[in-house]
Amino acid sequence: MTEITPEIVAEHGLTPQEYDKVLEILGRQPNLVELGIFSVMWSEHCSYKSSKRWLKTLPTEGPQVIQGPGENAGVVDLGDGLAAVFKIESHNHPSFIEPYQGAATGVGGILRDVFTMGARPVMNLNALRFGAPDHPKTRHLVSGVVAGIGGYGNCVGVPTVAGEVNFHPAYNGNILVNAMTVGLAPADRIFYAKAVGAGNPVVYVGSKTGRDGIHGATMASAEFGADSEEKRPTVQVGDPFTEKLLIEACLELMATDAIVGIQDMGAAGLTSSSFEMASKGGMGVELDLDLVPLREAGMTPYEIMLSESQERMLMVLKPGREDEARAIFEKWDLDFAVIGQLTESGRMVLRWHGETVAELPIDPLAQAAPEYDRPWDEPEPAVELDERALPAEGDPLGALERLLVSPDLASRRWIWEQYDHLVGGDTVERPGGDAGVVRVAEGPKGIAATVDCTPRYCLADPRSGGAQAVAEAWRNLNAVGALPLAITNNLNFGNPEKPKIMGQIVGCVQGMGEAAAALGTPVVSGNVSLYNETDGQAILPTPVVGGVGLVPDVALVTGIGFPGDGLEIVVIGATQGHLGRSIYLREILGREEGAAPPLDLAAERRHGDFVRGLIHGGKIAACHDVSDGGLLVALAEMALAGNRGCSLAVPAGESALAGWLFGEDQARYIVVAEAALPILEAAEMAGVPAQAVGATGGSELQLEGYGHTSLARLRSLHEGWLPGLMGGDLVGAAE
C-alpha cells in the first residue's frame, strides 16, 4: 500500500489542517483511494469552501421557485404544468488547455445537469471571455472554443440561442467559457439526486469509464503557473452522439416510475455522484468496482473513482425495475450496469477483486467539508470621472463607427452562425437580439433567456457591478417581452486566498443578492470558478448572470430591428451621460477609469415593468435595451437589424454630446411605435422618464447637425471585424 506522505497530501490539494481533519474522521490513515476521494470532495470545485459563506446570503426563494440551489439545476414554474430547469457552468481551465474539447465537454456537462432533472434541454447559451484580440493565443482559443460549443450542441440538437463575448487582456492567460442550458419539464415530474431505500440497486449508464481528466476537479481549483501547459493532464474528449442517446434513453426511462434518484457524473465522476446521492438520502452505499464498465484494461480503483469520463450517469432504481431500465438503455446502445446498492450503514464501501478498497463515513465527510471565512478587503471606491475635463466630441458619427468595430461591440455573427440556433423549429428570437426565445409545448408560451456581465463595472465597484449584471439580465428579458422569473450565476474570479480578490467576490455576491431581491429574480442555481490567475495575474471579476423569463405569448415578442419607416423612437429611462468605465471612454479616449454607472434598482424595476407592459399591450413595434456603448450604439444596432435607417435629434448641447450619445446610464430601453405621444403620456403616468428622440426611415443613420452615415457602411464595419480577426481561421494547435 502506498505510504501517505505530506507530499502526496499536498499533491491532492489538501492543506495540513484539512489532512488532520481526515485523520480525525477516519481515526486512521487513509489509503490512496480514500485520500483521492477526500481530495475531490473537499476541492473548491465540489465543496465551494471559499464561497459558501457568501452564497448563503443570496435570495433563493419565491412563489415561482420549485427548486433552488443545491440540486443539479434550479427549477421554476412556468404555469400550465410546465417548469423551466436551468443552470450555468464554467469550463474555463480545460478550455484554455484544449479549447475545442474543453468547451465541448463544458456544454455536455451542463446539458447533463439539466436532463438529469427530467427536463428536455431546449436552449443553450454561452458567456465567453477571451484575451486581447492581438494576443498570440486569442485566435486559436476563439476558433477552438466556438467550434467546440457548436460541435457539441449542434450534434445533440439543442439550439444555441444567445450568449455574450468580451475581449480583454486580463483574460490572456485565463479565458472564461461559461455554458448555460435551459430545459423544459413537467412541473410535477422533477427528478432529484436523493437516494433512499436500503437494498435499492445503484445503476451506472452511459459511456465506459476511461482514464480521462483524473483530478479535473482539483485542477479547476488551483491557480495556473506558466508550466501548466507542460503538466497537461489528460483532457476529456466529448462524445455528443452518446450524449444525445443518453438524453433520449434517460427521458424515456423517466416517463416510467422506475427511478428513485439520479445524478450525472460530472467533476469527480463516480465519487461525487455516489457520495452526493447517498448523502442527500442519509444512506450508505456499497459499490463493486469490478462491475463498472471500463474502457481500458488495468484501471485501478483510484482511477475508476476519480475518472471524469463524460456522458455517464448514476441512478438508483426501485427494486425489481432493473430489466425494464436495461431494455431502454440497450435499445439506445448504451452501457448499463448494476454496480452496487444502497445500505443503512451511512458508509461508502468500495469493493474490488473481492477486497474492500475503501470505507468512509459519508455524513461526517460531507458535514466536515471545509468552509472558510477568508479574509477580504473592502474594495476601494473608484474615483468619479471628471466628465467636464473630457475633450468635446466633434465627430460623433466617426466615434460610432469606431465603436461598432471595437472588439466588445462588433457583430458576433461569425460566432453564432457556427451554432445551430434553429434546430427544434421553435426558435422565436435568434441570436442578435436582446434575449433568446424558444416556444414551448406548441405555444403560445415561450421561455426567454440571456447571459450578462459587465466586468469593467465589477472591477470599478464589485457591489454595483454584481447588481448591474442582474439588472442587465432583467432588462434583456423585459426587452423581448418576458417576465423575468429567476437567475443562475457563474462566479468567475481569481485566487480567493488573496484578500483583494476575496473582496471582489464578496462585493459582487452582495450586489447580486441585492438586485435579485429588488427585481424579484431569485438565484436558483449557479457555479463558482476561482483561481483564474496565471502568474499572479487575475482575471477581471466576472460574475456572469443567466436570466430566465416567461413569455406569455410568443406572438407578442418584439425584436430589436426597426420594423418599418416613419415610426417614432422613444428612450425610456433617464439619460444623464455617465461616461465612467464606458466603452466610449476606453475605445475612443483610451482610458479605463472612473466609477461604474450608478444603479437605481427601484427605477430599474419600474422601467422594466413599464416596458414589458407596453409589449404585452401590443403598443410597440421594436424594443432594445441600452447597454454597452450607450444610446447611439443601441440605435445603430436596431437600424442594422431592421435594415432601415433613422434620424435622431440631439437635445444636448455640444459639451454634453458624448455623454448623451455614448454614456452608459442604466435602466434604459429604446422603443419604437407609430406615435411617441401615447407612450410619453403612459410613461408620465407611471413615473418613468421618457424622451422622444427621432424617427425611423431611409437607409442612413442621421444625426441632426452632425451629418449622416450609411447603413451599408456601418454594416460592413460592424460585420467585418470578427471575420477579419479570424481570417486565417485554422490557427495552430500549439500556437
Active centre residues (catalytic): 45, 91
705, 655 contact by CB (below 8 A): no
Choosing among ligand ADP, Mg ion, other proteins, none, which partner's interface includes residue 412 (Cβ < 5 to 8 Å by kind)? ligand ADP
- Options 270-278, 315-323, 418-426, 588-596: segment touching other proteins (CB under 8 A): 418-426
Output the CA–CA distances (angstroms, integers) from residue 201 to 198, 321, 332, 361, in the order listed: 9, 9, 21, 20
CA distance 435 to 428: 10
Does position 234 bind other proteins by CB under 8 A?
A: yes
x/- map, 614-633, Mg ion, by CB under 5 A: -----------x--------
Does position 71 bind other proteins by CB under 8 A?
A: no
125, 110 contact by CB (below 8 A): no
Residue closest to Mg ion (Cβ): 434
Does position 136 bind other proteins by CB under 8 A?
A: no
Does position 327 bind other proteins by CB under 8 A?
A: no
State the minimum distance, in angstroms, from the CB of residue 125 to ligand ADP: 7
Does position 719 bind other proteins by CB under 8 A?
A: yes
Choosing among Mg ion, other proteins, ligand ADP, none, which partner's interface includes residue 128 (Cβ < 5 to 8 Å by kind)? ligand ADP
Q: Binding residues for Mg ion, how many (CB under 5 A)?
A: 3
- Options 1-9, 471-479, 549-557, 716-724: segment touching Mg ion (CB under 5 A): 471-479
Does position 474 bind other proteins by CB under 8 A?
A: no
- Selected from 276, 434, 514, 637, the binder of Mg ion by CB under 5 A is 434
Choosing among other proteins, ligand ADP, Mg ion, none, which partner's interface includes residue 260 (Cβ < 5 to 8 Å by kind)? none
Cell of 317: 432504481
Tell me the β-bridge partners of 316. Answer: 202, 261
71 DSSP assignment? B
Q: Is 227 helix (H, G, I), strand (E, B) or coil?
A: helix
Question: Which residue lies nearer to ligand ADP by CB, 179 or 550?
Answer: 179
CA distance 4 to 302: 14
335, 207 contact by CB (below 8 A): yes
- Selected from 186, 291, 332, 682, the binder of other proteins by CB under 8 A is 332
Question: Which residue lies nearer to ligand ADP by CB, 60 or 468?
Answer: 468
CB atoms within 10 A of CB 594: 20
State the minimum distance, in angstroms, from the CB of residue 159 to other proteins: 9
Q: How far is CA 182 from the centre of its chain?
A: 11
Residue whose C-alpha is closest to residue 704's, from 648, 655, 652: 648
Choosing among Mg ion, ligand ADP, other proteins, none, which partner's interface includes residue 157 (Cβ < 5 to 8 Å by kind)? other proteins
- Selected from 420, 434, 452, 665, the binder of other proteins by CB under 8 A is 420
Does position 155 bind other proteins by CB under 8 A?
A: yes
CA distance 541 to 491: 8
Q: Is 81 helix (H, G, I), strand (E, B) or coil?
A: coil
Residue whose C-alpha is closest to residue 38's, from 384, 306, 374: 306
Question: Which residue lies nearer to ligand ADP by CB, 265 or 633?
Answer: 633
CA distance 704 to 21: 71
Question: Which residue lies nearer to other proteins by CB, 685 or 734?
Answer: 734
Does position 421 bind other proteins by CB under 8 A?
A: yes
- Chain residues that interact with ligand ADP, rule: CB under 6 A: 126, 128, 160, 162-165, 412, 415-416, 419, 431-434, 452, 476, 627-628
Question: Which residue lies nearer to other proteins by CB, 230 or 355?
Answer: 230
Does position 210 bind other proteins by CB under 8 A?
A: yes
Output the CA–CA distances (angstroms, integers) from residue 698 to 424, 564, 571, 645, 651, in the order listed: 36, 10, 20, 5, 21
CA distance 586 to 128: 20
Residues 627-656 that bind other proteins (CB under 8 A): none
CA distance 733 to 735: 6
State the minimum distance, in angstroms, from the CB of residue 485 to other proteins: 21
Residue whose C-alpha is closest to residue 276's, from 261, 289, 287, 288: 261
State the minimum distance, in angstroms, from the CB of residue 52 to ligand ADP: 29
Cβ neighbors of 373 (< 8 A, separation 6 or more) are 53
State the minimum distance, in angstroms, from the CB of residue 429 to ligand ADP: 8
Question: Which residue lies nearer to Mg ion by CB, 104 or 661?
Answer: 661
State the minimum distance, in angstroms, from the CB of residue 627 to Mg ion: 5
State the minimum distance, in angstroms, from the CB of residue 141 to other proteins: 13
Q: How far is CA 262 from the centre of its chain?
A: 23
Cβ neighbors of 455 (< 8 A, separation 6 or more) are 129, 166, 168, 170, 465, 539, 540, 541, 542
Question: Which residue lies nearer to Mg ion by CB, 507 or 629?
Answer: 629
109, 310 contact by CB (below 8 A): yes
Question: Which residue lies nearer to other proteins by CB, 119 or 487?
Answer: 119
State the minimum distance, in angstroms, from the CB of residue 411 to ligand ADP: 8
Coarse DSSP helix, strand, coil percentages of the chain, rounded to the nearest 5 percent? 40, 25, 40
State the minimum distance, in angstroms, from the CB of residue 482 to other proteins: 15
Question: Which residue lies nearer to ligand ADP by CB, 165 or 603?
Answer: 165
Residues 238-297 that bind other proteins (CB under 8 A): 238-242, 244-245, 295-296
CB atoms within 10 A of CB 732: 9
Choosing among other proteins, ligand ADP, Mg ion, none, which partner's interface includes residue 490 (Cβ < 5 to 8 Å by kind)? none
Please write down the long-range contacts of 422-430, taking CB distance under 8 Å and 24 or more positions apart. Answer: 422/159, 423/154, 423/157, 423/158, 423/159, 424/122, 424/157, 424/158, 424/159, 426/122, 426/159, 427/159, 427/161, 428/551, 428/554, 428/557, 429/161, 429/162, 429/480, 429/557, 429/559, 430/161
348, 274 contact by CB (below 8 A): yes
Output the CA–CA distances (angstroms, integers) from residue 591 to 7, 386, 656, in the order listed: 47, 12, 18
Does position 441 bind other proteins by CB under 8 A?
A: no
Does position 114 bind other proteins by CB under 8 A?
A: no
Residues 608-627 that bind other proteins (CB under 8 A): none
Q: Binding residues for other proteins, how many (CB under 8 A)?
A: 60
Residue whose C-alpha is closest to residue 307's, from 265, 276, 349: 265
- Options 97-105, 278-286, 319-327, 699-707: segment touching other proteins (CB under 8 A): 97-105
Question: Which residue lies nearer to other proteins by CB, 20 or 735?
Answer: 735
Question: Which residue lies nearer to ligand ADP by CB, 517 or 641?
Answer: 641
Q: Is 563 helix (H, G, I), strand (E, B) or coil?
A: coil
Output the CA–CA distances (angstroms, integers) from residue 447 to 104, 127, 343, 377, 463, in the order listed: 24, 19, 41, 40, 29
State the minimum distance, in angstroms, from the CB of residue 476 to Mg ion: 4
- Options 20-28, 35-43, 231-239, 465-473: segment touching other proteins (CB under 8 A): 231-239
Q: Which residues bind other proteins (CB under 8 A)?
A: 97-98, 101, 147, 150-151, 154-157, 207, 210-212, 232, 234-242, 244-245, 295-296, 309-310, 332-333, 413, 416-428, 430, 439, 554-555, 715, 719, 728-735
